[in-house]
């Protein structure tokens, strides 16, 4: 990392070290893949995932992505008071109850794919939830402030959210978790995510603003105007060279914690699956804090939310794994993509080599 990149992350967590992957490890992984009983490159992006995973782990084999943990992080947004969502803010709390009861989309998909699940309360309106075996209380407040009137949170609160996400990963990694995923829940969080993209990537709210939870055209126009107002009110903080300032000005508690989870996974040299539109906004903050995160993050799917693909193109990230027209959030896309990581690890670990199988390499052309 450059001195500037190191100082950005050091403001938040001076003891965290994220090491870029080694080109030598990447080359060694490719050599192994090329020696498996198949035409070179014929398993496409599964080979890419296996190669990246081997490099993340510094050449450790066998590749392991199980146990895996989905963190769905919930938080409320003061900007909901501006009518940017067709749903009232109480729906965040209602959906948290559904998530804890195991009835949400991400619960079903985690069960289907063999991924464990925890709901992280980063700051929902209404105070703490009753204790639950799947609930982790990391509240930063009772919802953020209204970003259209001033900063959503203090800079130190944003930094604390990042640290809490990193700590969550360190605790789970110490218990043997080998793959992480992020998801979210929070009414008005597409408004915050869009504002982050616009501030960090110099994108236009009119181009980036979509329906979120189902807003009609008139509400979408209103939502874009609210985002534009928030960027103007917080112009002194919304500088693209200061991702922590942007997060504090127009972000959300859940976005801060998710960004910390991503950085924490990278610090542990473990893969992290990034879900759709809102999770990718957290990724945009985190990767600007530490570009080496890109070596460890897997972009799960291209959300159907209007601005997701343009944002990823501006970030100059590779294509997401899946294009399924999904826009639910919660971590659903990451839960589906997890199966691809399992397949990639199985290919790397279990396929026979040409020599081992007694197959002549050029017969597989």
Contacts of 276 (CB under 8 A, 6+ apart): 300, 301, 302, 303, 305, 308, 326, 327, 329, 333
Q: Is 330 among the residues known to form the active site?
A: yes
Distance, CA of 183 to CA of 332 (rounded, Å): 7
Paired tokens of 138: 């990391």
Question: Which of 218, 241, 330, 350 is the catalytic position?
Answer: 330
Residues comprising the chain, all counted: 365
Distance from chain centroid for Cα 363: 42
Distance, CA of 92 to CA of 124 (rounded, Å): 7
Distance from chain centroid for Cα 239: 22
The H-or-E segment that residue 219 falls in is: helix 217-233
Distance, CA of 140 to CA of 142 (rounded, Å): 7
Paired tokens of 62: 């066998």
Catalytic amino acids? 330
């Amino acid at each position: 990392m450059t001195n500037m990149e190191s100082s950005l992350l050091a403001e938040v967590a001076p003891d965290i070290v994220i090491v870029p992957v080694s080109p030598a490890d990447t080359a060694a992984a490719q050599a192994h893949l090329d020696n498996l009983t198949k035409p070179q490159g014929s398993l496409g992006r599964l080979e890419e995932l296996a190669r990246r995973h081997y490099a993340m782990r510094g050449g450790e084999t066998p590749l392991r992505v199980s146990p895996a943990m989905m963190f769905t992080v919930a938080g409320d947004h003061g900007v909901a008071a501006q009518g940017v969502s067709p749903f009232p803010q109480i729906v965040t709390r209602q959906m948290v109850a559904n998530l804890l009861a195991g009835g949400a989309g991400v619960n079903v998909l985690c069960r289907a794919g063999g991924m464990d699940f925890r709901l992280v309360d980063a700051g929902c309106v209404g105070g703490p939830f009753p204790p639950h075996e799947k609930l982790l209380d990391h509240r930063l407040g009772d919802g953020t402030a209204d970003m259209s009137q001033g900063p959503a949170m203090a800079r130190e609160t944003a930094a604390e959210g990042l640290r809490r996400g990193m700590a969550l990963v360190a605790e789970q990694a110490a218990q043997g978790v080998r793959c992480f995923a992020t998801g979210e829940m929070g009414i008005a969080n597409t408004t915050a995510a869009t504002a982050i993209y616009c501030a960090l990537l110099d994108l236009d709210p009119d181009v980036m603003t979509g329906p979120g939870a189902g807003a009609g055209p008139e509400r979408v126009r209103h939502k874009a105007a609210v985002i534009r107002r928030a960027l103007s009110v917080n112009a002194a903080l919304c500088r693209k060279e200061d991702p922590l300032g942007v997060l504090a000005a127009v972000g959300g508690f859940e976005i801060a914690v998710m960004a910390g989870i991503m950085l924490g996974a990278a610090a542990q040299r473990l893969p992290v699956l990034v879900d759709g539109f809102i999770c990718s906004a957290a990724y945009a903050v985190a990767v600007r804090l530490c570009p080496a995160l890109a070596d460890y993050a897997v972009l799960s799917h291209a959300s159907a939310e209007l601005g997701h693909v343009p944002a990823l193109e501006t970030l100059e990230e590779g294509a997401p794994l899946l294009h399924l027209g999904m826009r639910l959030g919660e971590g659903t896309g990451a839960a589906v993509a997890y199966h691809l990581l399992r397949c990639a690890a199985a290919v790397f670990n279990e396929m026979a080599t040409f020599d081992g199988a007694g197959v002549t390499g050029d017969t597989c052309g």
